[in-house]
Amino acid sequence: MATDYYEVLGVRRDATPEEIKKAFRRLARELHPDVNPDPKTQDRFKEINNAYEVLSDPQKRQMYDLGGDPLSSGGGAGGGFGQAGFGFSDIMDAFFGQASQRGPRSRTRRGQDAMIRIEITLEEAAFGTTREIQVDTAVTCNTCNGEGAAPGTSAQTCDMCRGRGEVSQVTKSFLGQVMTSRPCPQCQGFGTVVPHPCPECAGDGRIRARRTLTVKIPAGVDSGTRIQLAGEGEVGPGGGPAGDLYVEIVEVPHTTFQRRGDDLHCTVTIPMTAASLGTKVPLQTLDGTEEIDIRPGTQSGQSIPLHGRGITHLRGGGRGDLVVHVEVQTPNKLDPEQEELLRRLAKLRGEERPSGQFTPGQQGLFSRLKDAFNGR
């Protein structure tokens, strides 16, 4: 029977090229003759070599899937280091990982992102605003237009690597003579050198400058919200594309309101007489002055919601609420006349000697756990 190359590598018939390559690398590390000299292992290594040669080549794999034998012509046994589909770099990949990218590096690279923090008020966060900010970032050098060479000059091909960006060195290993490559020390892998750098940017192709930008801050932002300004960050080396600028919002605490999400909270303190009789208290909201209606008999701790007086929702329409918490203040110092009036009121209400109403207090964590285990 013909050899099942998929079974040899231990992959499915619909395996991707990357899965096939991973399977070959794993087996090559185990079965290579220099690692395992057993003759049976060498035969097995030839099998995975042939399987990889066929399955890693799209044309040969298609011929094999259609029932043909890609190795029947042009080499039969196959499997040498120099044959198509299985070169020396594949063995190096199997033992040392993926090979480095060939060719010189580009001097033009994308710039880094930048971030700046700005403070805004609660009112600005609620309704949105527009701010002008100044940022110090790298911009393209106008003297050399980002090329890095002095005017009238240009970059030249490196005479050490001849423009390849890397130099090679032959060393000995258990595989025999191995040729390794590393970035050219003269051009740092660029393949070109700049003999006369631009005097303005020292060959970097960019300089530092202060710019003024207009930032639109949408309604509903909060501390920690970041606004992305695409292409407004650092210009890359060699005049490369700029990164992005992120504006982080810092909301200044308000003297009256505390923000919880899109709702606002505040506390109004009133005397017990106003809580008993009722009153109206003016409150300066984000939308102007409003009268807070304190109904007769209001208890300390009650809250009065003002719908739609909070922060605008960042995503979606509408606004949060403004919640007014009422705190009833009990007088701690009374003159004789006030004390007499209160005693008369207590007598009229039958509260001279109140018995009081006791309710179960809030249980602690361990008490609740104990009740839960006891089934209560």
- Could you read off the pLDDT of 157-191 as tens digits, one per residue? 999 888 888 887 777 665 566 667 788 989 988 89
Residue 371's pLDDT is what? 60
The C-alpha atoms of residue 168 and residue 106 are separated, in whole angstroms, by: 20
Report pTM. Answer: 0.61
User: What is the rounded CA–CA span in Å between residue 279 and residue 348?
Assistant: 23
What pLDDT is attached to residue 348? 86
Task: Place 133 in a pLDDT band, splitting at 50, 70 and 90.
Answer: very high
**Per-residue pLDDT, 208:** 92
Q: 5-96 sits in which CATH class? A: mainly alpha
CA pair distance 366, 213, nearest whole angstrom: 57
Structure confidence at residue 316 as a pLDDT band (50, 70, 90): confident
pLDDT digits (tens, 9 = 90+) for 268-314: 999 999 999 999 999 999 999 999 999 999 999 999 999 999 999 99
User: For residues 216 and 214, what is the distance between their CA atoms, to the nearest angstrom?
Assistant: 7
Distance, in Å, from the CA atom of 318 to the CA atom of 326, rounded to the nearest integer, reads 26
Higher pLDDT, 335 or 3: 335
- In this structure, is the dihedral angle defined by the CA atoms of residues 227, 229, 232 and 235, taken in order, positive or negative? positive
Q: What is the mean pLDDT of the chain?
A: 83
Stretch 122-139: mean pLDDT: 94
**Common-topology check for domains 5-96 and 258-348:** no
User: 45-59, 86-100, 238-252, 329-343: which has the highest mean pLDDT?
Assistant: 238-252
Give CA–CA dist 343/335, Å, rounded.
12
pLDDT at 92: 47
Report domain 258-348's class. mainly beta
Query: Domain extents for the chain?
Result: 5-96, 258-348
For the cut 60, the answer to whether the pLDDT of residue 132 exceeds it is yes
Predicted pLDDT of residue 374: 58
pLDDT, tens digit (0-9, with 9 covering 90-100), for 8-21: 888 888 888 888 98
Contacts of 20 (CB under 8 A, 6+ apart): 9, 11, 52, 55, 56
Q: Report whether 78 contacts 48 (CB < 8 A).
A: no
Write down the pLDDT at residue 370. Answer: 54
Q: What mean pLDDT comes out for the span 101-123?
A: 87
- Predicted confidence (pLDDT) at residue 99 exceeds the cutoff of 70: no
Say which residue, 81 or 292, is predicted with more confidence. 292
Percent of the chain at pLDDT > 70 equals 81
